[in-house]
Structure 1
């Protein structure tokens, strides 16, 4: 078994309902090294929003090449720390999906986040039909198997709630993604609607057998805690770009002190 597939197997095994994998998403080598050094870090994960912001772009402007440059930098840290790396791959960058995943794997990825919202579908983007989204999952897994990583982890994200659909619609899509070979399902509640409600999380976790990723809300009060999410029985918790969004003001505070002639350190 290859070392990389061993990392993929480890990543897969960390998705345990009720004892979730907790990911504090990173965006570059510095943030990756900071997180990798923490004793409770089990894996590294990128966040596309943060990767895009670090490149001066909006999330929807992120290109495959820029994303892969971040993967390359973070992967060096992951390899040095012997940690599996999962990459936020948006919707697979449209028709670049298979070629892009192959490159990400060769850089060191043991898994990806794959969205069902196609940014190039229609005028403003739209959800892939379920059968097409399933087919894209199968294509990723075939590429991974060809690259010697049959246990490659797909965290299949659905944006059904953001598209105005119900939690039942999101669950239907999630079940289809698991059937296609995804390891886990990420139902994105989205900032626009205030994230997922507790009852939605509970319903989805039960329907998906706990194979659910939720985003831990740290920037606004009222979100479910890690303890509460464990009790609900989810398998994965992530924070997206929130570490980056919280760290930027701290840099500003220190910079302001220096510019004002105060001792900052």
Structure 2
């Protein structure tokens, strides 16, 4: 039987610049099963926005307990299909960061997405605080026996008009602190091709990009050299749009 540490090592090794790990983020048991059973699926990842929506909450209102309950169901699926699981832990829930990571590891989780935006204050953490929180998360996982825990460190600087050089400085600090990849998020603006190319060069390819259907293709992102691609709540939004459309067809027949 593969140990959790071995699973974490395997998950970390899937982050290959130029051969990116593609994650079709899930949010509940049925979405996790649907993705986990696919031969093309190498790992599972949650998206906090989608988890929140499944609980009739806004993303910023997703509390730790609700997130953990959802993750427990998904972790059971990941274990059944022998797939690594990484969880969107948002900003780490303040002083509960170690508690959250420890509980996730006990569920079988081998990685997290950790933001540098403080939901409580509405501000981005200082670089020093953000890097310290990455180290704290890794230490909490190591205390549970998982030394190769994967932290995908999100940097939100572009959302607030930061210069790309400042984002690069942040990202390098996050990697030095032990993050496996840096997730530079642009929300609706996305991340332009030139920005992706610059970030890939600066981070040695250790970059996570959110896939946008009207942006760079997965093949193009791979050719540029990114190590990880995620889709966030995109599939949930598509699925619910189809669900509503099909329901309306039936209801309209009355």
Relative to the length of structure 1, the TM-score reads 0.94
Aligned to 2:32: 32
Aligned to 1:204: 199
Q: What's the CA shift for 1:178?
A: 0.5
Aligned mates of 2:7, 2:57 — CA distance in 1: 31
**Does 1:247 pair with 2:239?**
yes
Q: What's the CA shift for 1:2?
A: 6.5
Aligned mates of 1:166, 1:240 — CA distance in 2: 24
Aligned to 1:140: 137
Aligned to 1:195: 190
Worse overlay, 249-258 or 48-57 = 249-258
For residue 210 of structure 2, the aligned residue among 208, 215, 219 is 215
Alpha carbons 1:25, 1:239 under 8 Å: kept: yes
1:162-193 CA-to-partner distances (Å, cap 9, x unmatched) read 122122111111100000011111001111xx
**Does 1:130 pair with 2:162?**
no
Aligned to 1:68: 68
Aligned mates of 1:257, 1:108 — CA distance in 2: 41
Aligned to 2:13: 13
Alpha carbons 1:155, 1:185 under 8 Å: kept: yes
Aligned mates of 1:247, 1:2 — CA distance in 2: 34
Aligned mates of 2:10, 2:150 — CA distance in 1: 10
1:194-247 CA-to-partner distances (Å, cap 9, x unmatched) read 1111110110011000000000013xx2x0001100110000000001010111
Q: Higher helix proportion, which one?
A: 2
Distance change in 2, residues 1:98/1:52 (3 Å): same
Aligned mates of 2:147, 2:2 — CA distance in 1: 10
User: Number of residues paired by the alignment?
Assistant: 254
Aligned mates of 1:95, 1:158 — CA distance in 2: 20
Q: How does 1:1-265 map to 2 (within 5 A)?
A: 3-121=3-121, 125-191=122-188, 194-218=189-213, 221=214, 223-261=215-253
Q: What's the CA shift for 1:3?
A: 1.2
Aligned mates of 1:27, 1:44 — CA distance in 2: 10
Alpha carbons 1:2, 1:148 under 8 Å: kept: no
Relative to the length of structure 2, the TM-score reads 0.98
